[in-house]
Structure 1
Amino acid sequence: MRNQVVSRDEWLKARVALLEEEKELTRRSDAVALRRQELPWVRIDKAYRFDTDEGAASLGDLFRGRSQLIVYHFMFGPDFTAGCPSCSAIADGFNGFAIHLAHHDVMLWAVSRAPLAKLEAYKRRMGWTFPWASSFGSDFNADFSASITEKQQREGGFEYNYRPAAPLTSRAAAGPVAEYAATTGADAATYMRERPGMSAFALEDGAVYHTYSSYSRGLDGLWGMYQWLDRAPKGRNEQGLWWRRHDEYERA
């Protein structure tokens, strides 16, 4: 046991002190959210095309009558046989709140580079119902820092999370990364050419605008299980990559 054991009164005093810090964090979070909403917009003039369960679609079509669109850049490359386990853990929460977003003028989509047939098969396996589009053959993922080429991976010259990224090294492609890559049917290099992230867009007077994107630890708030773990007695308590796809735990 790593924590001190105290009386209820002593615990309450410590808890109230922490509450003040939590309130400050909430106020700071509200202020940062407002800053996100105040960011300038960038008009999207490129004609991106996607494959969806309703046929070919433009970026504007993904709004489906709403004025706001959120895209989760799901790591599922053309050569994968299954989606990234981490992205899958995040996406497990989408079914529950996508309908609420849709009724609040916000459309949520996952977008991946794998062909639609692969995405649809994996979606059935996972029991998901949220919309998922294929950007196969499109520049969409690359333009929004969600995928890179073999040359970029080998030589560098690309950015991720708004910082220059280094070429792939054998060390970076070893260990847990290689293990997780294997679960997608890809080698580590192929796996790491896909990048997780989210992007937000607005539709106004027929024009589409890019309003926000976030990557890496910026996705923590979307990863529902971490919000619960951060409030559990032992916190995240992580040693390596411990999570799996939700249908794989019993087999582990």
Structure 2
Amino acid sequence: MENHAIGTREEWLAARMDLLEAEKELTRQSDALAKRRQGLPWVRVDKAYAFETDAGAASLKDLFRGRSQLLVYHFMFGPDYRAGCPSCSAIADGFDGIVVHLENHDVALTTVSRAPLPKLQDYKRRMGWSFPWASSFGSDFNHDYAVSFTESEQSEGGIEYNYRREPAMAARPANEPAIPSRAGADGPTTGAAQSGTDVATYARERPGLSAFVLQDGVVYHTYSTFSRGVDDLWGMYKWFDRAPMGRNETSFWIRRHDEYGA
């Protein structure tokens, strides 16, 4: 632990009051950003997407489950993964507790992945989760919403993710990670190993959140965010940000909740 400033209670309080003003300004900015998100134009979704759910075959409209708003978490679990992405799993650990609150305020939450439904169901049982999870296996949904990519896009043309074009894998410097990561190159390597696949296959899936609204029988896409845009969904990070050492990340440390040692 590095040396840190030591002070009196009076010095701490003066610094804390100065920080409070900055925190209040950030809260105001966050409120203003939320309004700008809600003010984005809606884009009509005319394409028919097919999903498999615990209740059977479903359309995008079915995923609303009687609500007028739908939030989709794009969970990295490709058809060739043996287990879900550990980072997405850490985010998903917080879903069960909020689903009931969202549903009682006219918002449906569904996780969507490309892995076949039986594989998702097995993993869901392992993790002890109960939130809705739909498989988009065989559908263009993940690709159209910029969270899944083909091998040729990855290796030849480069992919469009997080509103930026990434260089093709063949043109990528050897020391550049396949997926941008706080922990650098070891993040995708470790995540791929923990998911039972190679780095290239792992990197063809990406995390994100998309929002939709159902009005007069028509579905509209309203918002999507990717990469660190999903940081606010990681409940643990808001706690880390208030801990003395912060996030304190020097390597990819995340494990599934049943993989940490005693």
TM-score when normalising by structure 1: 0.97
Q: CA separation in 2, counterparts of 1:65 and 1:241? A: 39
Equivalent pair of 2:190/2:252 in contact (CA under 8 Å): no
Aligned length in residues: 251
The worse-fitting range, judged by mean Cα deviation, of 166-175 and 45-54 is 166-175
- In the alignment, is residue 71 of structure 1 matched against residue 72 of structure 2? yes
Equivalent residue for 1:41? Answer: 42
Q: CA separation in 1, counterparts of 2:71 and 2:93? A: 16
Q: CA separation in 1, counterparts of 2:130 and 2:168? A: 37
Equivalent residue for 2:212? Answer: 201
Q: Equivalent residues in 2 for 1:1-252 (5 A)?
A: 1-168=2-169, 169=172, 170-171=174-175, 172-173=177-178, 175-250=186-261
Q: CA separation in 1, counterparts of 2:167 and 2:105? A: 40
Over aligned residue pairs, what C-alpha RMSD do you find?
1.1
- For 1:60, the aligned partner's letter is K
Following superposition, the deviation at residue 176 of structure 1 comes to: 3.5
Q: CA separation in 1, counterparts of 2:240 and 2:3? A: 17
Q: CA separation in 1, counterparts of 2:188 and 2:106? A: 37
Equivalent pair of 2:72/2:109 in contact (CA under 8 Å): yes
Deviations 1:108-156 (A, max 9, x none): 0100000000000000000000000000000000000010000000013
Following superposition, the deviation at residue 177 of structure 1 comes to: 1.7
Equivalent pair of 2:117/2:134 in contact (CA under 8 Å): yes
Q: CA separation in 1, counterparts of 2:106 and 2:75? A: 22
- For 2:123, the aligned partner's letter is Y
Identity within the alignment, %: 67
Equivalent residue for 2:181? Answer: none
Q: CA separation in 1, counterparts of 2:86 and 2:3? A: 31
Q: CA separation in 2, counterparts of 1:9 and 1:29? A: 30
Following superposition, the deviation at residue 2 of structure 1 comes to: 2.5
Deviations 1:70-89 (A, max 9, x none): 00000000011100000000
> What residue ranges of structure 1 are gaps of 5+ in the alignment?
none
TM-score when normalising by structure 2: 0.93
- For 1:156, the aligned partner's letter is G
- For 1:66, the aligned partner's letter is R
Equivalent pair of 2:40/2:222 in contact (CA under 8 Å): yes
Q: CA separation in 2, counterparts of 1:176 and 1:17? A: 36
- For 1:179, the aligned partner's letter is T
Equivalent residue for 2:182? Answer: none
- For 1:104, the aligned partner's letter is H
Which 4+ stretches in 1 moved above 4 angstroms?
none
